[in-house]
Amino acid sequence: MSGKSYESYSDHLNERKSSFDDDRDSFYKKREETVKSARSEVRSKSAMPREKRITNDLYDESLVTKKITKPDPAVERVHLVLIDNSGSNARIAQHLRESSGYLMSVLEQLDPASQIAFMYCSDHGDRDKFIQSIDYLQPGKKGDKALYSSSQEVIPANGDDGAEAWECALWEACGLDFGKAKEKHLYLATDVVGHGMGMGSDDGCPHQRDWKKSKEKVYKTFTTFTVIGCGDDPDTGKLQTQFLKEDRIPFDLIDLSSIKEFAHRAAITGNALLFLIARNTGMQGVELFLSFLYEKWLHEPIFGDDTDQRAQDMIRRFGKYVEKPQKEIDAIMGKILVK
């Protein structure tokens, strides 16, 4: 997703958000200039090495958590993120861990009063590494340090067979303590499916847990449930539709399997997560996030010379998951993507 520091994103986003909140028209007017100049620099910037985050003083042992307790009593909206930590998805998991600064600074702008917790999951055979958790965090600078420090303690796992134990990880997620939260949002990022969902390599669940029952429980427990398919196999992408209720499949599964380059899929996975979080805060959040993301991609051109076109395609693709009339989406895209 991105390796720059918390501050560099936070300052920029903060400035953008206040101008967005003040006056939408002048926000877009000013932004037009910035976008155009960023576009003209894509070629020269993509030839330069990418900036690396300096992490020397980020780790703080006292902030490390390994268990999910419960959110602060005043928190009304919680985000719980389940990330596939098995061998095949290890690099995506690693990428997300390295992006704590970006994640927490964007979350602070999108949903400052919320809290976020993480479960890194694999398979039963990984025993104590099957589920490795990071407790509820407040978005912001301390949250960034806590997420970075706790992430360092998450150990990559093997995963045994092709399927992962999502039937059990989802079940466990439903049993957590959500305090007084009124909205509970669950996000799942994986390149596979759970036991019994149709993967060729599947040794089954040793506890005979039925994934359909876990799915039912998820829908009863959480306000929303969304899935990011972050693998490169379209057949698995089809199997992943089973995680969701039939009528939610078009909106709640972001299948990235058509993106073949690993680096791009990794970068987009984290942004897909932020997009889904933004969607759960409402249309303003979506608009703010996508307008920021387009600028970010122009400034840090991960798609090389092709960045402008591919960034535009990707932003439009996110637009497909917005549940609004097409006309309204087109109008927002027009403003965000500046002609």
Q: How far is the CB of 171 from Zn ion (least distance, A)?
A: 8
Q: Interface residues with Zn ion (CB under 5 A)?
A: 165, 167-168, 205, 209
Q: How far is the CB of 318 from Zn ion (least distance, A)?
A: 32
Q: How far is the CB of 339 from Zn ion (least distance, A)?
A: 51
Distance between CA atoms of 116 and 110, rounded to whole angstroms? 12
Distance between CA atoms of 222 and 280, rounded to whole angstroms? 12
Q: How far is the CB of 195 from Zn ion (least distance, A)?
A: 6
Question: Tokens 């949002």 — which residue?
Answer: 185
Decide: residue 320, CB within 10 A, 0-12 exposed, 13-18 middle, 19+ buried.
exposed
Nearer to Zn ion, 130 or 178 (CB): 130
**Cβ–Cβ < 8 Å for 291, 31:** yes
Q: Give the C-alpha distances (Å, rounded to integers) separating 115 from 5, 78, 135, 142, 144.
A: 20, 5, 9, 12, 12
Separation of CA 187 from chain center: 8
Q: Give the C-alpha distances (Å, rounded to integers) separating 126 from 137, 226, 259.
A: 26, 25, 29
Nearer to Zn ion, 168 or 332 (CB): 168
Q: How far is the CB of 151 from Zn ion (least distance, A)?
A: 25
DSSP bridge pairs for 83: 120, 189
Nearer to Zn ion, 144 or 167 (CB): 167
Q: How far is the CB of 180 from Zn ion (least distance, A)?
A: 30
Nearer to Zn ion, 240 or 281 (CB): 240
**Cβ–Cβ < 8 Å for 106, 4:** no
Nearer to Zn ion, 3 or 125 (CB): 125
Nearer to Zn ion, 123 or 144 (CB): 123
* Two structure tokens written together for 216: 């039912």
| Angle, vertex CA 330, rays to CA 327 and CA 336, nearest 5 | 145
* Two structure tokens written together for 64: 């490390």
State which residue has the least CB distance to Zn ion. 205
Q: How far is the CB of 337 from Zn ion (least distance, A)?
A: 44
For residue 31, give the DSSP letter.
H
How many other C-beta atoms are found inside a 10 Å radius of the C-beta of residue 27?
20
Query: What backbone torsions phi and psi does residue 133 show, to the nearest 5 degrees?
Result: -110, 155
Q: How far is the CB of 211 from Zn ion (least distance, A)?
A: 8
Q: How far is the CB of 291 from Zn ion (least distance, A)?
A: 41
Residues in contact with 55: Cβ distance below 8 Å, sequence separation at least 6, in sequence order: 148
- Helix residue ranges, H only, 99-202: 100-110, 141-152, 166-174
Nearer to Zn ion, 161 or 255 (CB): 161
- Helix residue ranges, H only, 41-99: 42-46, 90-98
